[in-house]
Copies of this chain bind each other. A is one copy, B any other.
Amino acid sequence: MTNSIKKIKAGILGASGYTGAEAMRLLLRHPGVELCLLTADRKAGQSVDEVYPHLGGYGLPDMISVAEADWSALDVVFCGLPHGTTQEIIATLPASVKVIDLSADFRLRNPETYAQWYGHEHRAMELQSSAAYGLTEFNRDEVKNARLVACPGCYPTATLLALQPLVKAGLIDPKDLVIDAKSGVTGAGRGLRQNTLFSEAGEGLSPYSIAAHRHAPEIEQEIAKSAGVDADDIRVNFVPHLVPMSRGELVTCHVKLLGDATAEDLNAEFTKVFADEPFVRVLKEGAIAQTQMVRGSNLVVLSAFADRIPGRATVIAAIDNLVKGSSGQAIQNMNLMFGFDETLGLEQAPLFP
């Protein structure tokens, strides 16, 4: 279809997890990428068909262990490894390989904050300082020129796309942010846990990690940047909930307006800031963002509303946690890093119903 594009060679580390599977699904349709390498230590030797039956039949390579990998032929790797293991593996990769990391290892710039939230000193601190924070819409220049991109967490992606422009424009108070977040169960990964069994997560709603979720310091770091203050000066209320659906993430942000700002001003700011963004959809006045609007796509949908309490507003953002919240945004970053059209491989319209 697009023979003129020279293909780059890509690998996925941790291909047996959901972010790995989603990267495979999307890259299979990317005309500029050849998927050459898939690692999955515990599934090494298995075919894609065995690990992800829905992706059998596309001729993808078998899973191998990281130790078996030959990096020399690769242009880029996507790392979907568990937090903490990524940094050591990435440190061993040849400099010629660009790295797009989906783990949390390179998101926090302050080593002390990292150590506090992840329970150990960072083990590749020099890399950390060179990593670009891959929230594409706000960091294009850094991403374009980076060798290592740290893709944001799913919650920070939705939250920051909604709040950062408003903080930057001085429309809302960065010190009074209540982020009530909801995620589908894929957000918890493919690991075996009792609370993500169908019989436990189905037909029920569970808040979790109240005031203790690792995405909170990540949100604070970026909000602080937009507010022009130190990260320690920002504390957000962040309460996530597990929702009985597979995909989809929605953040309901309860915010305090500054000065005379109104909800209309928030929507106007969205319209202005995101006018040319291919993946950001600002809804018309009154329409409400839902996860049904984004399933399977790289879109974020935004809407803002006046609150009943004068001087306050509600800002809502919805994404597919596995696409814009993870592998889709990673590919968006890859497109930037390799000079492809930013939307390549990501043009699918949302799947509904």
Give bound CA distance, A350 to B28, whole Å: 11
Q: Measured between alpha carbons, how far is A168 from B44 in the docked complex, in Å?
A: 42
Q: In angstroms, how far is the closest chain B Cβ from the Cβ of A81? A: 19
B235 near A252: Cβ-Cβ < 8 Å: no
Cβ contact within 8 Å between B291 and A205: yes
Structural contact, A52 and B245, CB atoms closer than 8 A: no
- What's the minimum C-beta distance from A75 to chain B, rounded to whole angstroms? 21
CA distance in complex: A198, B250 (Å): 19
| Interface size range of chain A in the complex | 35 or more
A174 to chain B, nearest CB (A): 11
A197, CB-defined interface residue at 8 Å: yes
A350–B54 Cα gap in the complex (Å)?
6
| Interface-lining segment among A82-90, A135-143, A146-154, A182-190 | A182-190
A206 touches B281 (CB 8 A): no
B-facing residues in A236-265 (Cβ within 8 Å): 236-239, 241, 243-248, 250, 252, 254
Query: How far is it, in angstroms, between the C-alpha of A148 and the C-alpha of B284 when the chains are bound?
Result: 40
- A113: min CB distance to chain B, Å: 13
Assuming the contacts A243-B244, A291-B205, A351-B351, asked whether A198 and B211 have C-beta atoms less than 8 A apart, the reply is no
Q: A53-71, CB under 8 A of B: which get 1 and which 0?
A: 1111110000000000000
User: A349 contacts the other chain (Cβ, under 8 Å)?
Assistant: yes
Most B Cβ at <10 Å: residue of A21, A182, A194, A197: A197
A interface residue numbers (CB < 8 A to B): 1-2, 18, 21, 24-25, 28-29, 31, 49, 52-58, 175-176, 178, 180, 182, 184-186, 190, 192-194, 196-208, 210-211, 216, 235-239, 241, 243-248, 250, 252, 254, 281, 284, 287-296, 305-310, 312, 314, 316, 318, 347-353
